Amino acid sequence: MNLNQIKRPYDMIVSLGWNCQTAFQLKRKKLRSFTGPIDWMYSYSVSHLCRLLKQKFNGFMEIENMRIEGIQGTNSCYTVSDLNTRCVSVHDFLVTENSDTSLLTYPQFKEKMNRRIEKLYNSLAISDSALFVRIQANRDEALELKNAISEVYHGDFSILIINYTKEEKVIEIDWAIDRVCAVEISNSVNAWTGCNSAWDTILEGVTLSEGSD
């Protein structure tokens, strides 16, 4: 699938990580209408992500599987890893409200995650078309992701995979997988938000269907 083939309206556009850049750029382009469960987290493993999708996020961020890793740089929140799913929270547990040994605000966090999970699957149930966007996946992982999405979503969907390259231009990669478009972009700006011009090129012509919100 080539880049031009994804340039059309969708009932929903979903961020599938691997970091906050995906959600940020979709929001910047006004292409997201709700916050998904992993939008503002790291999700390092495509295999674990696929399992979460197929199991409706059962076992996601359960307190017994979470480990407080400390604080990254000047971040105001603790970095907390889910050892079961290889997802990492960096925005949810304020240092001022938690400690390095106890996640006191976990109940509120878990309630928020449950709302986002419910919203995701409700949207999947009523949407006829969807675009799923993931940073960092190889060809085998993209195929695995396609199969997982096929199990939980029965509408018309496409997957956009974005990997990084040293080249200062958008490069299309032909993986010859139906429904999957793969591109490489520069990350030379060295910012978590990514390269706006590259994302502008990729998402040009991608829109939310009228009435999608």
Per-run averaged pLDDT (10 residues), the chain, 213 residues: 97 97 97 94 98 98 97 90 97 96 98 98 98 98 99 98 93 97 87 91 96 63
Q: Give pLDDT, residue 187.
A: 82
Please state the domain count of the chain: 1
Residue 76, helix vs strand vs coil: coil
Tokens of 65: 């599987």
Residue 33 lies in a domain: yes
Range of the domain at 175: 3-208
What is the predicted pLDDT for the residue at 191? 77
213 inside domain = no
Write down the H helix ranges in the chain: 20-28, 46-54, 106-126, 139-152, 196-203
Instruction: Report pLDDT for 141.
Output: 99
**Would you say residue 23 lies in a domain?**
yes
**How confident is the model at residue 213, as a pLDDT?**
57
Q: What is the pLDDT of residue 212?
A: 65
Whole-number Å distance between alpha carbons of 100 and 58: 26
Residue 126 resides in a domain: yes
Q: What is the pLDDT of residue 41?
A: 96
Q: Quickly tell me which residue has 């938000």 as its tokens.
A: 193
